[in-house]
Amino acid sequence: MLARMRAPVQQRRRRRRRVLRLGTLTAAAPALAAALALAAAPPSKPAVLPDASGDTTGALDIQRASLSLGADGRLRAVVTFAAKVTPKDLLAKTGPPGSACVRIWTAPDADPTATRPDRLVCVTADKDEKLRAGVYEQRDAGLPRRTAPATVTANASGRSFIVRVSQSALGRPALIRFAFESTRPGCDRVSCIDTVPDGGATRRFRLRAG
């Protein structure tokens, strides 16, 4: 008798568990579908961002910036200045050296208006007057920490820096938000920084899945 009384109770419990599991799967379906759609989507076309010349002082006046994916799967960033820039132009007599950086937000829900980028891909110069590049992680209010290498070359005219970085160095996100900036050597004032796009805006770029 006791066993017969228990059987309906156990059946009702099993039915409730099945309903709960079905409800959980149903609720998760839209998010899963969105994630799968993003992963399956093709990478973005090259993003080209023009910038007005003369909107900052010094040699690191950006005229054009672009972001694309190379045939080898690496992210390719090109920063073109209004005039020729040499490694020596990046060095400062006092204070930090000048730099050109791609500011990157990798979190899917990142809000660039409220949070700082969690990755920086930057070009600067060493004391031997050679260009160097790297990936820096910025998780809190402290100084960015170098986490991965990047390669940098200057084009024949000396006006453009071409930077290449692997997707793994960024954590292989499906989508990033990005902006460019250059900072005049030895100066940390806002007037010494040239941003592209202007006004704190960012652009979205979809990376190749896998």
Give the integer Cα–Cα distance in Å for 197 and 201. Answer: 6
Give the integer Cα–Cα distance in Å for 57 and 140. Answer: 30
Give the integer Cα–Cα distance in Å for 163 and 132. Answer: 10
**pLDDT above 80 for 86:** yes
Tens-digit pLDDT profile for residues 52-64: 988 888 889 999 9
Give the integer Cα–Cα distance in Å for 86 and 99. Answer: 12
CA angle 190, 176, 125 (to 5 degrees): 50
Supply the pLDDT for residue 3.
Answer: 45
DSSP letters for 2-57: HHHHHHHHHHHHHHHHHHHHHHHHHHHHHHHHHHHHHHHSPPPPPEEEE--TTSS-
Helix (H) or strand (E) holding 87: helix 87-90
Helix (H) or strand (E) holding 88: helix 87-90
Lowest-confidence pick of 127-131, 140-144, 155-159: 140-144
Helix (H) or strand (E) holding 89: helix 87-90
Q: pTM for the whole thing? A: 0.79
**pLDDT above 90 for 189:** no
Average pLDDT in the chain = 85
Tens-digit pLDDT profile for residues 25-77: 445 445 444 444 444 567 789 999 999 988 888 889 999 999 999 999 999 99
**Mean pLDDT across 165-173:** 96
In Å, how far are 40, 47, 81, 156, 160 from 86, measured between CA atoms? 41, 25, 11, 12, 10
Supply the pLDDT for residue 36.
Answer: 44
Give the integer Cα–Cα distance in Å for 150 and 187. Answer: 24
Report the candidate in 58, 56, 75 with the shortest Cα–Cα distance to residue 195. 56
